[in-house]
Structure 1
Amino acid sequence: MRDSDIRQALTALLVSKYQSDPDTYIRHELGLCAGRTRVDVAVINGHISGFEIKSDEDKLSRLEVQAELYSRVLDRASLVTVDRYLDQASKMVPSWWGVWLAAPGKRAVRIRNVRRGSRNPCPNPFSVAQLLWRDEAMALLRERGNHGGLSKVPRWFFWERLAETLELGELQAEVRRVLRAREDWPTRS
């Protein structure tokens, strides 16, 4: 089973679940940690949820690093994999991650929940702030009067200032708000 088959089935499932919620956005290939990794499919609403797909074509060699980076940022995370990798891959991701099984169906891939996920117990504020582009981070700091001395510095300083001056819950809410408002992203997936 190919990544594209699983991705199509997962996207259809998520669109069906959230189609009546105008504040939910589904994004493919959301970069995390300044581009060190990308979430295969992300759902942005009152949480940022990410789905990592491991198909028959994939290897698991990067999964532990991906899981560590996802765990710095996402509110919720899930592994979507095939029977071949189910046992091994499930052990490689944190216990708070959800695990879903993708299996061939008569007409399309079927996806079912194998392990219910929970909320990330320890996201990293700096990594959460890294979801923002430089101008977005500066705008948030400016709104709070915390932008002094930052106009000509690299984006890392903006992220650091946000992580230091906003409570984690407020930072997460602001990041979700900004991501949903990005104009250069398509309005819906």
Structure 2
Amino acid sequence: MERMDALLYDCDIREPLFDYLEERFGKARMFEEKIIGKSRADVLMVTEGRITGLEIKSDADTYERLKRQIRDYDKYCDENYVVIGRSHAKHVEEHIPAYWGVLVVSVNGREIVIEEMRPALQNPKMKRELQLAILWRAELQNIIEQNHLPHYRQKSKRFVREKLLEKLEWNRLKLEVCEELFERDYTLLEEEEG
């Protein structure tokens, strides 16, 4: 299998991508297939104080939904990458904003190789209130308790998010949001509905 032109599918890309990200960024937590806005994010990666969106476009994918996906990723993430098979390398930059990064996945011999074609820059369109909306009610309550704020138990999640944004300095709040996501316990899944 000494081919550089092998077609890669989403299932071929994910595991090598996670290995690459963990090697490059160290402590990271990956969330797959997370609904953000009207899109399903392939991967949200949480690192200390940062949420990175990764949209996978394998060699078998088209750009058909990418415009909407970009709008949604931009609302929730601090930075974004499109992760592409080599067949997209020539034209991908025509389809993404200048601040999106590009990771190219290819086959070299028996190895899958990932190279950064373009680094991701700070996303200028991220909405703080939407980033907070990723948290479950219990996670919002944890932040309230850590900061000795009133509990607002009878209030909506939206009200609680607005109070956190009003009362806490963003850089501190952002670190706490990322810490809550690192610690997320999916055995408490029903909390997400609360």
Ranges in structure 2 where 5+ consecutive residues have no aligned partner: 1-7, 188-194
Q: CA deviation at 1:36?
A: 4.5
Ranges in structure 1 where 5+ consecutive residues have no aligned partner: none
Residue 9 of structure 2 is aligned to residue 2 of structure 1 = yes
Residue of 16, 27, 33 corresponding to 2:23:
16
In structure 2, relative to structure 1, the CA distance for the partners of 1:61 and 1:171 (3 Å cut) is farther
Residue 102 of structure 2 is aligned to residue 95 of structure 1 = no
Counterpart contact for 1:32–1:73, Cα < 8 Å: no
TM-score, structure 2 as length reference: 0.78
**How far apart, CA to CA, are the structure 1 residues paired with 2:155 and 2:73?**
27
Residue 158 of structure 2 is aligned to residue 181 of structure 1 = no
Counterpart contact for 1:29–1:38, Cα < 8 Å: yes
Task: Kindly report structure 1 stretches of 4+ aligned residues shifted beyond 6 Å.
Answer: none
Structure number with larger C-alpha Rg: 2
**How far apart, CA to CA, are the structure 2 residues paired with 1:12 and 1:109?**
11
Q: Deviations over 1:67-96 (max 9, x none)?
A: 122222222211111233334432332211
Instruction: Look up the match of 1:156.
Output: 158
* Percent of aligned pairs sharing the same letter: 26
In structure 2, relative to structure 1, the CA distance for the partners of 1:107 and 1:28 (3 Å cut) is farther
Residue 34 of structure 2 is aligned to residue 31 of structure 1 = yes
Residue of 100, 114, 118 corresponding to 2:117:
114
Instruction: Look up the match of 1:47.
Output: 50
In structure 2, relative to structure 1, the CA distance for the partners of 1:163 and 1:33 (3 Å cut) is farther
How many residues of Structure 1 are paired with residues of Structure 2 in the alignment?
180
RMSD (CA atoms): 2.5
Paired letter, 1:44: T
Q: CA deviation at 1:130?
A: 1.1
